[in-house]
Structure 1
Amino acid sequence: MVAIPDRTYNAACGRLASRLGVSLASARRKVDVRASQEALRDVASKVALAERMLEEVIASGVDNEALLSSVLGAVSSEEYFLDED
């Protein structure tokens, strides 16, 4: 059975997820993958890694939420397109 994640780890991943505009599970997966690349195992170092990743996202200056909104917006030529079932 999988252990229940630490509350501080979830909170750090939640802040990262909201900044990236992705789900909590996706942000946790990103942190877990990077933690495995850096050979980090304990929760405290993973929390620090999530905070560091959040700082990197903020420093990059890319507004992921606006980018996602622009991608999801309809093109004017397809604005009224309706697909049949």
Structure 2
Amino acid sequence: MPPISDRDYTVACGQLASCMGISLASARRKVDIRAVREGLRAVDDKIALAGRMLEEIRSSGIDMGEVFNAQLHTVGSDDNFMVED
């Protein structure tokens, strides 16, 4: 599927990506998947959906940066673990 070249759609997905701490492509994919589930096809509907998703994340009170940082912490037994080439 060719990418949608609508600047407003890219901006909406970029804001979502920034808030979630993911890439623009991942945010676009999340919006596209949810749009398919909801039966949305028009670009304007996808822009509105991205805005709703952004508001849902902001209103949830979950700081995605903190979630990511928590995932990066090591478990006590893995402190000195190193993968060899």
Superposition TM-score, scaled by structure 2 size = 0.87
Over the matched positions of the two proteins, sequence identity in percent amounts to 54
Q: Letter of the 2:38 partner, please give it.
A: E
Q: Distance in 2 between matches of 1:71 and 1:15?
A: 22
Aligned: 1:19 with 2:46: no
Q: Distance in 2 between matches of 1:8 and 1:42?
A: 13
Q: Specify the SS of the correspondent of 2:80.
A: coil
Aligned: 1:79 with 2:76: no
Q: Letter of the 1:38 partner, please give it.
A: E
Q: Distance in 1 between matches of 2:37 and 2:80?
A: 46
Q: Please report how far the alpha carbon of residue 80 of structure 1 lies from its aligned counterpart in structure 2 after TM superposition.
A: 3.0
CA deviation digits over 1:48-79, x for unaligned, max 9? 10000000000111111111111112334433
What is the RMSD computed on CA atoms of the aligned residues?
A: 1.6
Q: Specify the SS of the correspondent of 1:5.
A: coil
Structure 1 gap segments, 5+ residues each = none
Q: Letter of the 1:18 partner, please give it.
A: S
What does residue 9 of structure 1 align with?
Answer: 9
Structure 2 gap segments, 5+ residues each = none
What does residue 31 of structure 1 align with?
Answer: 31
